[in-house]
Structure 1
Amino acid sequence: MVKKYLWMLAVPVYILIACNKDMATTGNPPPVTPPVKSPISDKQVSSAIQGNVVDEQNKPLAGVQVKCGDVTATTDAAGSFFFGKVNANQMAAVVTAQKNGYFNGSRTFHIAAADKLQFVQMQLLPKKAAGTFVASTGGTVNTSNAQFTFAAQQVLGPDNKPYSGKVSLLYAPINPERADFADIMPGDLRGITNSNTIVGLQSFGMMALELQSEGGEKLHLDTSKQVSFKMTIPTSLQNTAPPTIPLWYFEEVSGVWRQEGSATKTGDSYSGIVKHFSFWNLDMPFPLVNFTATLVDAHNTPLSNAAVKLKRANGSATYGYTNENGTVSGDIPKNETLTLEVMSKCNMVVDTRNIGPFNDHTDIGILRVTVPNNEYLYFSGAVASCNNMPVQNGLVSISLGGTTYRSNIANGQYSISILRCVTTQVTAIINAVDQDANKMSTNTKLVTTGNYITNLSACDVILADFVNSLLNGQTANYTATDSISLYNLGSGYLLSAARKTNRDFIDFQVNDMTVGTHATSIALTNNGKYYSGNGTYTLTQSGTLGGYLAGTFTSSVKPDSTQNNGPFPFTGSFRIRITQ
C-alpha cells in the first residue's frame, strides 16, 4: 500500500496535439530539468480521466499500471482505467502506462475544463530484441528500418559500472504513417526548443529503444560517449524531408519533447548521434496557437469521448478527444487552414470540414456533427422523482464496455450520445441521481446502436457512506463530513476514508468484488502516526454503478517507526456507494 493522502486527489483530461510523423526511443532517462523555467505554465487544476490501453493488435490490455501524478490504477479485462479526482497541469497533464514486456506509454494533454470527465487511449508496443552485441568491444545492430553503432565499453549496468557481456537491443518502430499513430506516440508532440520556446512538431521518424543484459537487467549508456544511428525515412515523407532536422528526446515527467542535436539526410535516411536512450524524435518545429471547439450531434447533445483529428496540408495532423461536454482543446498549427475530422471508434471519418487559419487563441464554439445511426448510441428520456415530478438537479451516468458517459439533468430530461462502430449487443448500466432529494435508481439495458428512449425514476434513498474503525481499542469513525471515496483501479477499487481537518486516513484495495472474504493490505494514519499491515475484507454487499460496497475488514498493523511495538489489531466496517 502506497503511503499517501488520498483525499487530496484530483485528475487530468485529454485534448489535442500531435503531429503525424515521428522518431522515438525509451530506456534510461536523460539528465533533465534545465536551469530556465519551462515555457509551459505550471498552473494546476482538478478533473477526471478515464481511458483504454490496447496492445499492438489494438486488443484490450489488462494489468497495465496507469499513473497520473502520484495516483495509480490498473486496467481491467477491457483495458479500461478510471481516475476520479487528480491534480494535473492544465497545459500539460500527463498519464503514463507501464506493463512488463512493453515499452512505456504516455499521453500529454490540455485540460479543457476543470472537473469534467475526459478520455484517453494508448497503445503499448512489445519489447522485441532486434539484435545483440558485446558491450566490451561494441558493435553494430541492424533493425528493420535503422542501424545503431555502439562504441566499446559504452554500456553501463544497473550499478552504473561498465558492463562487458552480451547486450540485446530491444526495439519497436513507430511509423508516423500509421492510422493508429496518435495512440502509439508518447506525449503530444509539443517540443521545447533550445531557446526555451514551445513549438509543435512534425515528425519524420520515431522508434523505441532499450538495452538489456543476458539476465534481463535494464542497461544504459555512458553519456560521455556517442551512439551513431541511421534511420530510413518513411516512404511518403522522403520527398519532403529537410536536409537537416532537429533531434528531440521525450521528457517523461513533464510530458514534452526537448531539443537536443540534429540529424542529416543522406539518400532515403537520416544519420545522427545520441548519448542516452529515451524516446527520440526527428521533427521539424512549427508555431502553435490554442484552439477550442465543442461537438454536438443532431440532437444538440454533446459528443463525449470523440476522437478529433486536424490535418495539415502536408498530411501531418494533430489529435485529441472531447470531454464529457463535447469540448476539445489544445495547441494546433498557427496560420494554417486545417481539415477537421471526427473519427469513429473504428477510426473511420464520420464528419469532416475545413477550419482556420487562426493567428491567436480561438474558440470556434459549437460544431454540429451528423453521425450515422449505425455508428453511435443515443440515450434520452425523462427523469422523475418519487412523486412523479421532473428532477431539476441531478445527473445520469451510463457505463458501457468499461467507459462511463454522463449528462446533467435539465428540466427533467437527459440525453447522452456515445460513438460506437460495432453492433454487437452489450449491457448498459444506467444510473440516475436526484441530488435535491438525495435519491437515485440503477437500471440495465441491452443495446446495440441507434436511438434508445429510456425514462428513469430516481426513488431509491441514497444511503450515507461510512467507515468505522477500531485500532487497539481506539475508535476512528468517518462519515459524510469527512472524505469517503472509491477510486476505480480497473481491476477493482481503492477504498479511501480521510479527515478534512487533519491527515488521518484509512485505505485498502478491494480487488475482488464478489461477496465473501478476500486478502488485502491496509494503510492508515491515526493521530499523525502511520500504520500498515496485511489483512482481509469481507464483502456482504457488492453492486455496480450506483450500488454499494459494504462489509467489514480486519488486520494486524504496525507503526512506521523505529520503535519495536505492535502489531496492533485493526478492525472495522464500511458502506460506500459506487459512483464510477
Structure 2
Amino acid sequence: MVAFALTHHISYIMKRTYLTLITTILLFACQKDAKEILTILRPEYIKTSIQGKILDDNQQPVAGATVVIGKHTTRTNARGIFRLDSIDVDIHASVVKVSKTGYFNGFRTFVANKGILNFVQLQLITSNIAGKFAAANGGTVTVPNGGSITFTGGSIVTAATNVAYTGNVNVSAHFINPILPELPQVMPGDLRGITTTGQEKSLQSFGMMAVELTDDAGVKLQLSKPATLTMPVPATLRATAPATIPLWSFNETNGLWKEEGTATKKDTSYIATVTHFSYWNCDVPYPKVSFQAVVTGTNGERMFDMLVRMKVENENYYAYGRTDSTGKVSGYIPAGKSLEITITNKCGNIVYIKKAGPFTQDADLGILGVSIPYGGNVIISGMAVNCNGAPVTKGNAFIFLEDNYYSAKISNGSFTFSMDRCDMSPTEVSLTVQDEDASKESAPSTFNITAGTYNVGTYAACAISTVEYFNITVDGTAYTAIPNDSLTGFSYWNNRNNVNMSTNKIWFNTYADGTTTGTFQLSDISLRTEKESYDEDMLSHATNQMTFTEYGGVDKYAAGTFSAKMIGRTTSNNINISGSFRLKIR
C-alpha cells in the first residue's frame, strides 16, 4: 500500500542539507502488501494508532493546530505533536487533515497499518495574500514564488451559498516547487491519483499550486466561471516536461488526486483552465509494482525510522519510504526500471547502497542489513510485568527521547528499542510500560543515556490506570464516549487545556486553565447536537467551571467534572450541561 514518504516511522525534523532533490515521489507504507489498484476501492476500516508532528515554513512546531482523521479529532501540543490511539481509519487511504488560522489546510494520505503506531509529518504552508481584485472586473494575480492566476469579471460566488459576489477578492496562493527537498512534507496527499478511467496511479509532479479565495471578512469564495492558471516548470525538469500533461485537483475527502483536464506547456510554464480552487497539480501517471523489505542493524535488530530511497537509474524519479517499528518498509516502485536502493538514518548518514531491479511484478527483497558507521546507535531493552509479577503478554513500551516518541511491542514480557542519535552528549530518557489487558501502566521512569546498549531491568505496569472516558449530560440527555472509539481527547497547548468530544450525535469543545487539581473557569465553549448548536451563556460565564480531581501533566492523565449554561443559536433557549471525564493529556 502507499503512504507518505518521510513520515513513517518517527516524526523528525530532517535537516534540509540531508534531503534529496526530487521530481517525483512514489510513496511507501509499512507492512502491507502493495498491489496495483485499478479502480477506487470502497472504504475498509481498521483500528490503529497515529502520531504525527506538524511544522511551519521554518521547520518549527505548530502548536494548537486542529487534526482530523476520519471521525476523530485532536490538537497539537506545544511541541507540534498529536496522537490518536485505537481509531478507525480506511486501510486504503487514511487521510490526515490539519488546519490552523493563517495557513492553508494541510493533508497527508497514507495507508495505516493495523494495530500499531503509525507516524506522519506535515509542513503547513503560510496563507499569504498574493493579490486582490474587484470581482466585477476580474484581474490577474501574480504568485510571489512563481506563476499567476487570471480571473474574468463576474466569475466569483460565495462558496457556502453559490450566490454571485461583487466585492473585493483576496487571493492567497503558493506555488509548490516539485524539486524542493521539503516537497514530501508540504504536498497534500501521497501522490496517488485516480485517472479519468478509474485507475489508481503513482504521479510524477512537474508543479503544484495552492489557491484560496476569500472576501475582506475572511469568508471563502469560489469560481462560477473558469480561471486561467499558469505554473512555472523548474529549469531541471523542462527538458523532460511533456508538451501536454494531465491536470489533477486534490480531493479533500478521499485524500487522492483526481484527473481533471490537461495543461499545455508554453515556453517555461504550464497553462491550464480550472473551474474551482483547491490544490492543483501537473503530473504524469506511471504504472507501479509493490515492494517490501526488512531493514536490520549490525546485530540483526530491526531498524525503524530509516529512510529508504528507490531511485530510477539515470532519471530524476524516486520512491521513498520509512521503516516501521518492526523494521519493515513496503509500497510502490516504478515498474520495469533499474533502481538504486539507498538507506539513510535520521542523522543523514547513508548506511546502505545497493542496485536492484528492474521489477515487472511484486518484489520482496527480504532483509537489508545496514551498518552503523558511528557510535550513535542506542539499544534499550527490558522486561515488563503485570501487577501479579507475571510477564505482560499484550502491551507496549514507550520512550520519549529528544522530543520524539518511540514505541515497542512487548512480547512475553520483553521489549527492545533500537534508535540512532546524532548528538552524543548525555540526555534524559523517559520510559513507560503498559499492560493492555489490565488497563494499567507504570509511572514514567527517567534515566540518562549517551550511546550503546542499556538493559533497564524490570518494570511493573501497575501504577497508573489507563482507563479513559468522557460523559456529558445536555439538558437531561446523557452521552458517553470512550476515546478509543470516538473523536475525544485532552490536550495542553499555549498554557491552556483543551477538551473535545465528538460522536455521530454530539460535538463538544472547551478550554480551561490550570495545571493542578482544583476548580478553573471554562472558556470558548462550543456544543452541537443533532437538533441545535449552542454557545456559552456569557451571563453565566463566572460559574461555568471545570474541576480537576486528577492532573498529572503532559503524557499523564487528567480527570474531573464540569458544568456550564449554554444558549441555542437558533432557538435562544438556555440549557444546562454537565459532565465527567478521565483522559490522557497530549
Q: Quick one: which amino acid aligns to residue 221 of structure 2?
A: L
Q: Quick one: which amino acid aligns to residue 52 of structure 1?
A: K
Q: Quick one: which amino acid aligns to residue 329 of structure 1?
A: S
Q: CA deviation at 1:554?
A: 3.3
Asked if 2 retains the 8 angstrom alpha-carbon contact of 1:13 and 1:323, the reply is no
With 398-407 and 375-384 compared, the bigger mean Cα shift is at: 375-384
d(CA) in 2 for partners of 1:149 and 1:562?
40
Q: Indicate whether 1:140 and 2:140 are aligned.
A: yes
Q: Quick one: which amino acid aligns to residue 284 of structure 2?
A: M
Q: Indicate whether 1:286 and 2:286 are aligned.
A: yes
d(CA) in 1 for partners of 2:377 and 2:512?
32
Q: Indicate whether 1:337 and 2:338 are aligned.
A: yes
Correspondent of 2:166 among 164, 167, 176 = 164
Asked if 2 retains the 8 angstrom alpha-carbon contact of 1:22 and 1:283, the reply is no
Q: Deviations over 1:9-66 (max 9, x none)?
A: xxx995559994379xxxxxxxxxxxxx952342221211101111111111112111
Asked if 2 retains the 8 angstrom alpha-carbon contact of 1:132 and 1:169, the reply is yes
Q: CA deviation at 1:320?
A: 3.3
Q: Quick one: which amino acid aligns to residue 116 of structure 1?
A: I
d(CA) in 1 for partners of 2:396 and 2:189?
33
d(CA) in 1 for partners of 2:210 and 2:404?
29
Q: Indicate whether 1:89 and 2:90 are aligned.
A: yes
d(CA) in 2 for partners of 1:485 and 1:221?
33
1:97 and 1:341, CA in 2 relative to 1: closer, same or farther beyond 3 A? Answer: farther
1:531 and 1:270, CA in 2 relative to 1: closer, same or farther beyond 3 A? Answer: closer
Q: Deviations over 1:386-432 (max 9, x none)?
A: 88776565431112355432222335432112344345665432012
d(CA) in 2 for partners of 1:506 and 1:276?
30
Q: Indicate whether 1:195 and 2:203 are aligned.
A: no
1:219 and 1:545, CA in 2 relative to 1: closer, same or farther beyond 3 A? Answer: closer
5+ residue gaps, structure 2: 8-20, 26-37, 537-543
Q: Indicate whether 1:296 and 2:304 are aligned.
A: no
Q: Indicate whether 1:543 and 2:544 are aligned.
A: no
d(CA) in 2 for partners of 1:202 and 1:445?
46
Q: 1:9 is matched with which residue? A: none
Q: CA deviation at 1:89?
A: 1.6
Q: CA deviation at 1:154?
A: 1.7
Asked if 1 retains the 8 angstrom alpha-carbon contact of 2:491 and 2:585, the reply is no
1:326 and 1:546, CA in 2 relative to 1: closer, same or farther beyond 3 A? Answer: same
d(CA) in 1 for partners of 2:125 and 2:485?
38
Q: Indicate whether 1:407 and 2:408 are aligned.
A: yes
d(CA) in 1 for partners of 2:233 and 2:466?
60
Q: CA deviation at 1:507?
A: 7.6
Q: 1:48 is matched with which residue? A: 49
1:373 and 1:544, CA in 2 relative to 1: closer, same or farther beyond 3 A? Answer: farther
Correspondent of 1:555 among 558, 563, 585 = 563
d(CA) in 2 for partners of 1:141 and 1:479?
48
Asked if 2 retains the 8 angstrom alpha-carbon contact of 1:16 and 1:331, the reply is no
With 256-265 and 423-432 compared, the bigger mean Cα shift is at: 423-432
1:240 and 1:511, CA in 2 relative to 1: closer, same or farther beyond 3 A? Answer: farther
Asked if 2 retains the 8 angstrom alpha-carbon contact of 1:306 and 1:322, the reply is yes
Q: Deviations over 1:316-372 (max 9, x none)?
A: 223333333233332332222333333444556444333333333344333333344
d(CA) in 1 for partners of 2:230 and 2:475?
68
1:21 and 1:166, CA in 2 relative to 1: closer, same or farther beyond 3 A? Answer: farther
Q: Deviations over 1:163-215 (max 9, x none)?
A: 33443322212111111110011101111111111111111111212223344
d(CA) in 2 for partners of 1:319 and 1:362?
15
- Map 1:463-542 to 2 at 5 A: 463=465, 465=467, 487=489, 489=491, 491=493, 494=499, 514-515=515-516, 516-520=518-522, 535-542=544-551
Q: CA deviation at 1:247?
A: 0.8
- Map 1:454-465 to 2 at 5 A: 454-458=456-460, 460-463=462-465, 465=467
Asked if 2 retains the 8 angstrom alpha-carbon contact of 1:396 and 1:431, the reply is yes
Q: 2:184 is matched with which residue? A: 182
Q: CA deviation at 1:74?
A: 0.9
Q: 1:26 is matched with which residue? A: none
Q: CA deviation at 1:121?
A: 0.5
Q: 1:78 is matched with which residue? A: 79
Asked if 2 retains the 8 angstrom alpha-carbon contact of 1:286 and 1:333, the reply is yes
d(CA) in 1 for partners of 2:50 and 2:77?
15
d(CA) in 2 for partners of 1:497 and 1:70?
8
Q: 2:269 is matched with which residue? A: 269
d(CA) in 2 for partners of 1:373 and 1:287?
39
Q: 1:7 is matched with which residue? A: none
Q: 2:119 is matched with which residue? A: 119
Q: 1:6 is matched with which residue? A: none
Asked if 2 retains the 8 angstrom alpha-carbon contact of 1:529 and 1:559, the reply is no
Q: 1:150 is matched with which residue? A: 151
Asked if 1 retains the 8 angstrom alpha-carbon contact of 2:6 and 2:121, the reply is no
Q: Quick one: which amino acid aligns to residue 250 of structure 1?
A: F
d(CA) in 2 for partners of 1:477 and 1:285?
47
Q: 2:29 is matched with which residue? A: none
1:373 and 1:134, CA in 2 relative to 1: closer, same or farther beyond 3 A? Answer: same
Asked if 1 retains the 8 angstrom alpha-carbon contact of 2:67 and 2:99, the reply is yes
Q: Deviations over 1:110-155 (max 9, x none)?
A: 22x3111010011111112223333222222233421322212222
d(CA) in 2 for partners of 1:229 and 1:358?
38
With 423-432 and 54-63 compared, the bigger mean Cα shift is at: 423-432
d(CA) in 2 for partners of 1:497 and 1:86?
13
Q: 1:232 is matched with which residue? A: 232
Asked if 2 retains the 8 angstrom alpha-carbon contact of 1:16 and 1:329, the reply is no
1:319 and 1:469, CA in 2 relative to 1: closer, same or farther beyond 3 A? Answer: closer
Q: CA deviation at 1:456?
A: 3.3
Q: 2:108 is matched with which residue? A: 107
Give the secondary-structure state (helix, strand or coil) at the position aligned to 2:184: helix
Identity of aligned residues (%): 32
1:227 and 1:555, CA in 2 relative to 1: closer, same or farther beyond 3 A? Answer: same
Q: 1:364 is matched with which residue? A: 365
Asked if 1 retains the 8 angstrom alpha-carbon contact of 2:514 and 2:520, the reply is no
Q: 1:256 is matched with which residue? A: 256
1:303 and 1:237, CA in 2 relative to 1: closer, same or farther beyond 3 A? Answer: same
d(CA) in 1 for partners of 2:266 and 2:475?
76
Given the two structures, how large is their TM-score scaled by the length of structure 1?
Answer: 0.79
Given the two structures, how large is their TM-score scaled by the length of structure 2?
Answer: 0.79
Q: Quick one: which amino acid aligns to residue 210 of structure 2?
A: A
1:201 and 1:212, CA in 2 relative to 1: closer, same or farther beyond 3 A? Answer: same
Q: CA deviation at 1:216?
A: 3.5
Give the secondary-structure state (helix, strand or coil) at the position aligned to 1:85: strand
Asked if 2 retains the 8 angstrom alpha-carbon contact of 1:337 and 1:356, the reply is yes
d(CA) in 2 for partners of 1:173 and 1:517?
48
Q: Quick one: which amino acid aligns to residue 255 of structure 1?
A: G
Could you say what the CA RMSD is over the residues aligned between the two structures, in angstroms? 4.2
d(CA) in 2 for partners of 1:469 and 1:246?
50
Q: 2:11 is matched with which residue? A: none
Give the secondary-structure state (helix, strand or coil) at the position aligned to 1:454: strand
Asked if 2 retains the 8 angstrom alpha-carbon contact of 1:394 and 1:435, the reply is yes
With 178-187 and 272-281 compared, the bigger mean Cα shift is at: 272-281
Q: Deviations over 1:362-386 (max 9, x none)?
A: 4433333334456554322344678
1:103 and 1:496, CA in 2 relative to 1: closer, same or farther beyond 3 A? Answer: closer
d(CA) in 1 for partners of 2:272 and 2:132?
21
1:386 and 1:300, CA in 2 relative to 1: closer, same or farther beyond 3 A? Answer: farther
With 299-308 and 197-206 compared, the bigger mean Cα shift is at: 299-308
1:323 and 1:229, CA in 2 relative to 1: closer, same or farther beyond 3 A? Answer: same
1:446 and 1:487, CA in 2 relative to 1: closer, same or farther beyond 3 A? Answer: farther
With 314-323 and 179-188 compared, the bigger mean Cα shift is at: 314-323
